[in-house]
Structure 1
Amino acid sequence: MIIHTTAAPRSIGVLGAGRVGTAVARQALAAGFEVKIATAKPAEEIAMIVEIVTPGALAVDATEAAAADLVILAVPLHQYRALDAGLLTGKTIIDAMNYWAPTDGEIDDFEHDPRTSSEIVQEFLAGARLVKSLNHIGYHELEEDGRPTGAVDRRALALAGDHEDAKALVAGFIHRLGYDPVDAGPLAAGRAFQPGTKIFNGSHTAPVLHAALTAALVSTLH
């Protein structure tokens, strides 16, 4: 379902200052959001690199980043258990991480569990409202492919989550970034745009993405 929403956060907290986290931060800054970035290091240790790589964003500690209206989770997936689950209780979080064993190596938590990586992370962050998205667009594409509302070639991004209010907030953010948000359904539906899928490997407009998500759902029922 294509989401039409006016809901949008005001401030964005990014956990992780790698390629994905900084790309999201730059695009969010360009869209007019207040952006704060945190890593496992003290804020003063990352202040210079944040100023250089994401000018306009603030380097903060994780506590301050987690206090934002919307939190982007962009840490290396194998480090997810190092997150402070209590700090993220009650927060809406975009899980932009992927489990991709051929690239990152096998991780027992994900290799031997039939659930999606986001479902496993959601279990660990039990008090948070996790929404899977921003994982199926390259960090460089995120800054290049955004288009104004109504553009015929506007790219769509899927989102999946178990909390409707959280999905509405994420949809508003995605829309402001320059993309059409398409609701894939519950968090488990994020399987349709994990690494190796047709959706993950391509760029789609909203109608095409909606059709691909529907086809993926039908395939799981047979």
Structure 2
Amino acid sequence: MSTTSLEPLTIGILGAGKVGTVLGRLAVAAGHRVLIAGSGPVSKIGLIVEVLVPGAVAVPAEQAAREADIVILALPLGKAVTAGGLGRIPADALAGKLVLDAMNYWWEVDGIRDDLADPRVSTSELVQALLPESRIVKAFNHMGYHDLDEGPRRVGAADRKAIAIAGDDADDLASTAALVDSLGFHPVVAGTLRESISMEPGSPIFGANLPVQDVVSALAAFPESERGRIVANARTGEADDLREAALVRG
């Protein structure tokens, strides 16, 4: 279902799990060319894609990254960001690319990872630091895959739901917003990558399947939420430490 006049793009999706296949179906329905890569051999992923994402093509991760106009990371975060750096992400092939980070930290899946749970840093900032030659935007992470699958609506529909996005570059946010719109959702800019922590698990918006004004309200409620207070306290402490270090150096 194409919902806007956005020209067809090639969308590369790294991850053939529930979120990756749902986003693949939405992108195919919107008229985009979709390349999907998973963790197994292409022959195995090909069967999954054939059944769950008709019209998409299973390819190696590097091909999906190189040929795509926009790449979506839909991997388990702990597999993408390992203790030693990058995991299952073809960094060289992603150089210069707009990369949408749809990943979340789940300790049940990713293990106990202090680096991924640090309230001073959003997980998308970590991804950007590991992919310095790519342009990262947080998107498609806060809505459940069932709601994503069932939620697309045309522009102007009374029951159209909203998807929050966050990034540091206005042009990249505009491109991401156009893609979100084409898939059938209203894009809402949540702020910078640093501010994308307001979209992570534990925030008021996480799990939200809401219209635009309610998504705006949920984002605005973050500072007063339990998670928001934890983040604010941690970041205040970080700022105090930096000021103290600067005074010592001075």
TM-score by length of 1: 0.89
CA distance in 1 between counterparts of 2:119 and 2:188 reads 27
Alignment map for 1:192-211 (pairs within 5 Å)? 192-211=198-217
1:93-128 CA deviation, whole Å, 9 max, x = no partner? 111100132564312431346201111111001111
Change (3 A) 1:60 1:157: same
Q: RMSD across aligned C-alpha pairs, in angstroms?
A: 2.2
2:71 counterpart residue number: 71
CA distance in 1 between counterparts of 2:121 and 2:198 reads 12
Change (3 A) 1:217 1:182: farther
Q: Is the 8 A contact 1:28 1:177 kept in 2?
A: yes
What letter matches 1:109 in structure 2?
D
Q: Name the SS of the counterpart of 1:78 in structure 2.
A: helix
Percent identity of paired positions between Structure 1 and Structure 2? 44
TM-score by length of 2: 0.80
2:15 counterpart residue number: 16
Change (3 A) 1:95 1:185: same
Deviates more, 1:113-122 or 1:174-183: 113-122
Q: Is the 8 A contact 1:85 1:126 kept in 2?
A: no
Q: How big is the shift at 1:142?
A: 0.7
Q: Answer 1 or 2: higher relative contact order, Cα 8 Å, separation at least 6.
A: 1
Instruction: Extract structure 1 runs of 4+ deviating beyond 6 A.
Output: 218-222
1:36-87 CA deviation, whole Å, 9 max, x = no partner? 0112444334222211221110011122211211101011111112212222
Change (3 A) 1:7 1:90: farther
What letter matches 2:130 in structure 1?
F
Alignment map for 1:77-88 (pairs within 5 Å)? 77-80=77-80, 81-82=86-87, 83-88=89-94
- The total of aligned residue pairs comes to 218
Change (3 A) 1:169 1:217: farther
Give the one of 143, 146, 149 matched to 1:143.
149
CA distance in 1 between counterparts of 2:147 and 2:48 reads 22
Alignment map for 1:47-66 (pairs within 5 Å)? 47-66=46-65
Q: How big is the shift at 1:140?
A: 1.4
1:111 counterpart residue number: 117
Unmatched 5+ stretches in structure 1? none
2:241 counterpart residue number: none
CA distance in 2 between counterparts of 1:78 and 1:9 reads 32
Q: Name the SS of the counterpart of 1:48 in structure 2.
A: helix
Q: How big is the shift at 1:146?
A: 1.3
Unmatched 5+ stretches in structure 2? 81-85, 234-250
2:170 counterpart residue number: 164
Deviates more, 1:182-191 or 1:78-87: 78-87
Deviates more, 1:189-198 or 1:106-115: 106-115
Give the one of 133, 154, 163 matched to 2:160.
154
